[in-house]
Amino acid sequence: MNQAIKLHNAAAGFYERTGIRLTVRTNNLPPDWTVEIIPDTRITGTLPPKALDGMTIIGYQDGTYETSEQLAGPTEDELWIYKQTPYLTVALRELAKGNNRLQDTIQTWR
């Protein structure tokens, strides 16, 4: 099965379980990326509104998935990385926790 189809199926299953709708992009990405998974910030399941603003999962060519929040911090000029894992399911669980979790970051960038 093609990798893009697997990711779309995973996104559909995630929506069924959590109510969080995801968009899977595989085209026009930076050279070292293979996929970008972005939540629909209007459909957040049981999370409060805006809980997924800035959240994304990036899949790299080495098979690593990174869950992060862009435009994070008090002045919205930081990147907060929450998890780096070889497992998409772990990255999805991290995404479902929502944003604004500075205490859970493993790395921050300004």
| 10, two tokens | 């995973």
| pLDDT tens by residue, 35-94 | 899 998 888 888 888 889 999 999 998 989 999 999 888 888 999 999 999 999 999 999
Q: Look-up: residue for tokens 């459909």?
A: 43
Q: Which of the given ranges, 22-26, 45-49, 80-84, 101-105, has the highest pLDDT on average? A: 80-84
Q: Where are the domains of the chain?
A: 3-109
What are the backbone dihedrals phi and psi of residue 36, each rounded to the nearest 5 degrees, phi first? -130, 125
**Contact 42/29 with Cβ under 8 angstroms?**
no
78 exposed, middle or buried (CB, 10 Å; 0-12, 13-18, 19+)? middle
pLDDT (0 to 100) of residue 84: 95
pLDDT (0 to 100) of residue 1: 47
pLDDT (0 to 100) of residue 2: 66
